[in-house]
A and B are shown apart, each in its own frame.
Chain A
């Protein structure tokens, strides 16, 4: 479904992505974790060409995403993306936020799109807010609308770039619940997150990244009980037992 082959990316002299080789099978949920600056967000943003790459290929449904010849808009319509900062359109109502892509890119009639919006907002638990403006919603509610907006494209794969990092702690649960539901329904998902509980319960595979490289690509059980790489071990102990950390040298 989604495949990275020898992907290389540079920001000037900085090697942001170093020989990334990995794949996400259809129906799989993959969680990407790692310290700040490891390249997780960069990697996921290269999938829908928000960031360019200098080497290798990324294939979604067999099609090379960075091929100059392909229609980038049609391609992006087949990939759902959920941002850390939600990025809802503040001048449009919740309904219109969800309807925009199906109507303008998918060619749906406004009635069909409106019905689709109602169905998806019901699914994320926000049917009662369908005519509200984003400014009047909480962070958790806005992110759930953003997920509905991505689902409206009927994409075969959903990408999540730290979807709960900008939320107050009490709202993280409602967003993770929606994501868990989607996973149970068989959606292919690539999720960059720090939420280790979600990773342990929902992920089929975990990729651990550091300094632009994927250091671990295993099952959650293997990763949490016995991580192979020392960097991964240190990361896990910092995350799971932060009060035992020492001041770095």
Chain B
């Protein structure tokens, strides 16, 4: 078995891989930002004291946590156009529908987990903290801002970093609907050249590097901002 990595720099293949990497990052970044925004909205909505509303919210969150990500992508891409009005469908088909539906599905998926992570962080602060804060005269909002959230964020960051890593890996699922991210390109090149090992190795290297960077970021954050406020 001879390994020849040079072919990757010749011809289209290098460009394909680079395109795949860029698409992966594009998908990750947009899904992450959108997901975090939705998560914050969900966290806020948890405060609304309406029972049926909370029930619906729970249903939505549980759907996105218990259904596999690739199935969620399929529901959006294959299923949604079925119920959209014809004009909207035509407008959608003009753009990059695959990317868009993949991004929406990934964003909603990750937002459900992020919302739970943030809420867990907030619930981890003992009620005695809030009691103490109110006892010295802080209002509800001030308590949230100066006492609860600073502690909750430090607790929530490790699971959020872990969730971001999972999101990065989940971008590979978009290949099933034809989004040209890294894994899609890997399969395409493999089909064209049969040089499985080299192209797998490069893709594995990219994913591992991203994973290591994310894990290192999390570790640095946990050391500089420890949850027990030792510094």
The reply, when asked whether chain A contacts chain B directly with Cβ atoms under 8 A, is no
